[in-house]
């Protein structure tokens, strides 16, 4: 990641100096300005974040804030002031200030806020990148995530897409993105301009599913008043997605196998062989190996389908993707609900990342949708996810090992981890542990952690 450019605006040289020194030592490039006018002149140099004093010799911080946002909406502004009135704070936040800090400030707190603010823009930029690339409706970039698991999945999907005839078997828990991946495969392949047809094998009784898939001749059964083409015919040249293949009855399994081997089939009640060029993608959230072992699923069909296996990781196996997915869905629901939510608070991220997501990405999507519908604030906070908070605390993630634990040592270790994760900010460390700042201070002393770990 390139270094971020930070502009420090304050008329007091000492304050500018102490902030710049600290930020430079954190690895940022720092510019300085002592008036509102000088600040505006620096903006064309490419500024990512502004630390802005409220009381300036030529104007006030809120006026400068408004001008900065007019210049470039994406520049982050943290306002510093010794004269905080609630009205000013509210106005500043409305104008899009990222944060409002009181003077005198603590350098560590300011540095932590800067880091957090830049992290949010990084995420937002990454999401924007994903969205631009996703201008085509189901491009590879629709599969959001930067973890090794999801990166590997995207590579695999790309390879699968360019071998456009082989059968694909998608396996994975509910909500992991099997439908999504099936569409991405189709729309990234040479078949993209041909139909993508989709049928859920569990949704219909056997004879209806059969005639949906293979079509029927007039008079084939009581209701068959006219001849009808099946999905396989309609999708000629394209892709048929057979969802919940594990639910298919034995009789249909046999017919599907015959189609896959011969590339031809007969309509129900028909005699003629019909040839089509269709790629089949099948999906299941069952363990088909087990179904085969129990003779619930034909082994020959399983091997025929399993030419290109793609297994979808459950979300709990790649929690590092949660923030990016959260930003992605916030962005999507911002457009859908015409809202302007700017990401989530650190406490919300901590909560969302510690949850186990039994319903995977679908559950995450629903949780964000609900929070955005119900919340009025412009950043989602932990309290916008009440159901998760109780689920996390009532869960038994912390199972007592058979040999027991040293509780004091566990407490010390968790405290150190929380302080590290919040770069020494005691209030934020407290949020991670469900403690207030005094309780954190007490424990820091108790464990002799006088210097920041």
Ligand X SMILES: Nc1ncnc2c1ncn2[C@@H]1O[C@H](COP(=O)(O)OP(=O)(O)OP(=O)(O)O)[C@@H](O)[C@H]1O
How near is the Cβ of 248 to Mg ion at its closest, in Å?
Answer: 15
State both tokens at 406: 């040293």
Q: How many Cα neighbours within 13 Å face the side chain of 417?
A: 9
Where b means 16+ CB within 10 Å and e means fewer, 375-388 reads: beeebbebebbeeb
Q: Is 381 in the site for ligand X (CB under 6 A)?
A: no
When CB distances are held under 5 to 8 angstroms depending on the partner's kind, the choice from ligand X, Mg ion, none that residue 176 binds is ligand X
Q: What is the C-alpha to C-alpha distance for residues 4 and 28, in angstroms, rounded to an integer?
A: 5
Q: What is the DSSP string of 57-70?
A: SSSBHHHHHHHHHH
Residue 179 is a binding residue for ligand X (CB under 6 A): yes
Burial of 46-70, coded b for 16+ CB within 10 Å and e otherwise, reads: ebbbbbbbbebeeebbbebbeebee
The rounded distance, in Å, linking the Cα atoms of 443 and 408 is 11
User: What string marks each residue from 406 to 435 as x (binds ligand X by CB under 6 A) or -?
Assistant: ------------------------------
Contacted entry of Mg ion, ligand X, none for residue 145, CB cut-off 5 to 8 Å set by kind: ligand X
Q: In the range 129-168, which residues lie near ligand X by CB under 6 A?
A: 143-145, 150
Least spacing, CB of residue 178 vs Mg ion, in Å: 5
Could you tell me which residues come within 8 angstroms of residue 131 by beta carbon, excluding any fewer than 6 positions away? 141, 331
Beta bridge pairs of residue 443: none
| In the complex, minimum distance from the CB of residue 397 to ligand X, in angstroms, rounded to a whole number | 23
* Cα 157-159-163 angle, rounded to 5 deg: 110
Q: Any contact of residue 188 with ligand X (CB under 6 A)?
A: no
* Shortest separation between residue 386's beta carbon and Mg ion, angstroms: 28
Binding range to Mg ion, per CB under 5 A, among 13-21, 176-184, 228-236, 310-318: 176-184
Report d(CA 272, CA 256) in Å as an integer.
Answer: 17
Selected from 175, 313, 314, 343, the binder of ligand X by CB under 6 A is 175
Shortest distance, CB of residue 71 to Mg ion, whole angstroms? 45
User: What interhelical angle do 107-133 and 322-337 show, nearest 10?
Assistant: 70
Complex with ligand X: residue 279 or 428, whichever CB lies closer? 279
Distance CA 306, CA 439 (A): 56
Q: Is 361 in the site for ligand X (CB under 6 A)?
A: yes
Number of residues in contact with ligand X, rule: CB under 6 A? 16
Q: Specify the residue, 46 or 146, whose C-beta has the smaller distance to ligand X.
A: 146
Residue closest to ligand X, measured at CB = 177
Query: Is residue 411 close enough to count as binding Mg ion by CB under 5 A?
Result: no
- For ligand X, the binding residue among 106, 174, 287, 299 (CB under 6 A) is 174
Q: Determine the Cα–Cα distance for residues 376 and 346; give it in Å rounded to an integer.
A: 18
Please say which residue, 36 or 175, places its beta carbon nearer to ligand X: 175
C-beta closer to ligand X: residue 30 or 153: 153
Find the angle CA(199)-CA(263)-CA(232) to the nearest 5 degrees.
25
Tell me the closest approach of the beta carbon of residue 184 to ligand X, in angstroms: 10
Least distance to Mg ion, CB of residue 177, Å: 8
Q: Kindly provide the b/e burial profile for residues 223-258, where b requires at least 16 CB atoms within 10 angstroms of the residue's own CB.
A: ebeeebebbbbebeebbbbbbbbbbbeeebbebbbe
- Per rule CB under 6 A, is residue 393 in the interface with ligand X? no
Is 176 a binding residue for ligand X by CB under 6 A? The answer is: yes
* Footprint (CB under 6 A) of ligand X, residues 283-312: 285
Of residues 188 and 426, the one with the C-beta less far from ligand X:
188
User: What is the CA 324 to chain-centroid distance, rounded?
Assistant: 4
Asked if 180 interacts with ligand X (CB under 6 A), we say yes
Residue 179 sits in the site that holds Mg ion (CB under 5 A): yes
Question: What single-letter DSSP state applies at residue 51?
Answer: E
Among 177, 246, 313, 346, binds ligand X (CB under 6 A): 177
Please give the residue ranges that form the binding site for Mg ion (CB under 5 A). 178-179
Please give the residue ranges that form the binding site for ligand X (CB under 6 A). 143-145, 150, 172, 174-180, 285, 361-362, 365
């Amino acid at each position: 990641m390139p270094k971020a450019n930070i502009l420090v605006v304050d008329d007091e040289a000492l304050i500018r100096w102490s902030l710049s020194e600290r930020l430079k030592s954190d690895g940022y490039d720092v510019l300085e300005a002592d008036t509102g006018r000088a600040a505006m002149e620096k903006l064309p140099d490419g500024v990512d974040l502004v630390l802005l004093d409220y009381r300036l010799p030529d104007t006030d911080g809120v006026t400068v804030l408004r001008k900065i946002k007019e210049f470039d909406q994406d520049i982050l502004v943290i306002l510093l002031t010794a004269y905080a009135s609630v009205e000013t704070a509210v106005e500043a936040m409305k104008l899009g200030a990222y944060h409002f800090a009181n003077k005198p400030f603590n350098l560590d707190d300011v540095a932590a806020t800067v880091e957090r603010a830049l992290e949010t823009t990084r995420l937002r930029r990454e999401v924007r990148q994903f969205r631009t690339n996703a201008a085509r409706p189901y491009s590879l970039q629709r599969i959001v995530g930067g973890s090794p698991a999801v990166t590997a999945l995207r590579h695999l999907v790309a390879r699968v897409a360019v071998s456009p005839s082989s059968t694909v078997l998608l396996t994975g828990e509910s909500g992991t993105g099997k439908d999504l991946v099936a569409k991405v495969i189709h729309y990234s392949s040479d078949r993209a301009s041909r139909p993508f047809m989709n049928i859920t094998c569990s949704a219909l009784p056997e004879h209806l599913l059969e005639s949906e898939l293979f079509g029927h001749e007039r008079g084939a059964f009581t209701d068959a008043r006219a001849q009808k083409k099946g999905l396989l015919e309609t999708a000629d040249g394209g892709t048929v997605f057979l969802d919940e293949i594990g639910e298919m009855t034995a009789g249909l399994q046999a017919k599907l196998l015959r189609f896959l081997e011969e590339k031809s089939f007969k309509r129900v009640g028909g005699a003629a062989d019909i040839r089509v060029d269709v790629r089949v993608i099948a999906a299941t959230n069952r363990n088909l190996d087990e179904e085969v072992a129990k003779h619930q699923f034909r082994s020959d069909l399983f091997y025929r389908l399993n030419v290109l296996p793609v297994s979808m990781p459950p979300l709990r196996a790649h929690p590092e993707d949660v923030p990016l997915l959260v930003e992605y869905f916030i962005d999507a629901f911002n457009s859908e609900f015409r809202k302007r939510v700017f990401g989530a608070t650190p406490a919300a991220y901590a909560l969302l990342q510690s949850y186990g997501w039994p319903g995977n990405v679908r559950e995450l999507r629903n949780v964000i949708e609900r929070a955005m519908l119900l919340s009025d604030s412009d950043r989602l906070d932990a309290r916008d996810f009440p159901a998760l908070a109780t689920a996390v605390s009532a869960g038994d993630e912390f199972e007592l090992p058979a040999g027991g634990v040293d509780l004091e040592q566990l407490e010390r270790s968790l405290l150190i981890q929380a302080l590290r994760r919040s770069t020494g900010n005691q209030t934020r460390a407290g949020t991670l542990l469900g403690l207030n700042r005094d309780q954190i201070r007490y424990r820091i002393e108790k464990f002799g952690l006088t210097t920041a770990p």
